[in-house]
């Protein structure tokens, strides 16, 4: 059985014999994770997507992911995918931590109020049918959550990330990812988990279904109006919870 590597800045080498192609995929994915192309808690592309992108068999990707999971670089969740658990020591993460320390919940809502209406507007215009299908799949998983706060938060972040990526604007998506990361590092663990009762999760499930319907029907006005009202309600809930 493989053992976690002591120094994750080193190349990962499996103690069990693996093929050269599998090792190449391990090295490629680990390099992306170390460089923060796949950041902490980010979901990796699907096995099928990685196999196509890297020009290898799907079984090769699966074996490489097994190696990364054994070394605590990723974790895999049935039905959800593979998520990064490795945290780089790069200066950019330190910078993000500093921003998180200085960001209050209200600061974060202000940034969301600036970014989300434009993100939703562009997503409605630019999301491809495949992106909308993936968004629908994430929504279905959100709607299946009944009591698990961790599962709900993870899927909620994925939903917002997919919408941001659907804008077709990588810089805007990166700005929003920074907002998510800042939220996660600063106050989400305490405030968000305390606020997410089963009843409130049900309310959010209905809201996200409404948002998805507006995006899927390419209704820009309804989608933008919805997200603006949603943000107002989020602010009211925040002031009650503080």
Domains 20-84 and 105-241 fall in the same CATH topology: no
pTM: 0.60
**Percentage of residues in the chain having pLDDT higher than 70:** 82
User: Which position has the higher pLDDT, 201 or 238?
Assistant: 201
How is domain 20-84 classified at the CATH fold level?
A: Arc Repressor Mutant, subunit A (1.10.10)
Task: Give residue for tokens 């910078």.
Answer: 95
pLDDT tens-digit readout, 33-66 = 887 788 888 889 999 999 998 999 999 999 999 9
CA-to-CA dists, residue 62 to 23, 31, 65, 67, angstroms? 12, 17, 5, 9
Torsion sign, CA atoms 69, 75, 77, 83: negative
SS3 84: strand
State mean pLDDT over 226-230.
94
In sequence order, what are the residues at sequence separation of 6 or more whose Cβ sits closer than 8 angstroms to the Cβ of residue 93?
36, 40, 87
Give residue limits of the domains in the chain.
Answer: 20-84, 105-241
pLDDT tens-digit readout, 82-95 = 999 887 654 444 44
**Banded model confidence at residue 172, pLDDT cuts 50, 70, 90:** very high
Instruction: Give domain 105-241's CATH superfamily.
Output: GntR ligand-binding domain-like (1.20.120.530)
């Amino acid at each position: 059985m493989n053992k976690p590597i002591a120094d994750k800045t080193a190349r990962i080498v499996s103690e069990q014999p693996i093929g050269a192609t599998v090792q190449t995929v391990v090295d490629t994915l680990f390099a992306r994770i170390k460089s923060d192309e796949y950041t902490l808690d980010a979901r990796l592309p699907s096995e099928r997507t990685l196999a196509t992108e890297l020009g290898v068999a799907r079984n090769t990707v699966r074996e490489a992911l097994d190696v990364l999971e054994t070394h605590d670089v990723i974790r895999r969740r049935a039905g959800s995918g593979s998520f990064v658990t490795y945290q780089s020591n790069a200066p950019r993460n330190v910078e993000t931590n500093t921003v998180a320390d200085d960001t209050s919940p209200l600061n974060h809502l202000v940034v969301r109020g600036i970014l989300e209406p434009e993100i939703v507007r562009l997503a409605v215009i630019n999301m491809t049918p495949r992106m909308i299908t993936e968004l629908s799949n994430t929504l279905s998983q959100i709607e299946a959550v009944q009591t698990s706060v961790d599962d709900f938060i993870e899927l909620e972040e994925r939903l917002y990330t997919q919408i941001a990526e659907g804008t077709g604007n990588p810089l805007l998506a990166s700005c929003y990812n920074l907002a998510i990361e800042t939220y996660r590092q600063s106050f989400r663990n305490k405030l968000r988990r305390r606020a997410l009762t089963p009843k409130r999760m049900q309310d959010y499930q209905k809201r996200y279904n409404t948002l998805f319907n507006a995006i899927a029907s390419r209704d820009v006005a309804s989608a933008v109006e919805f997200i603006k009202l949603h943000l107002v309600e989020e602010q009211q809930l925040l002031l009650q919870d503080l």
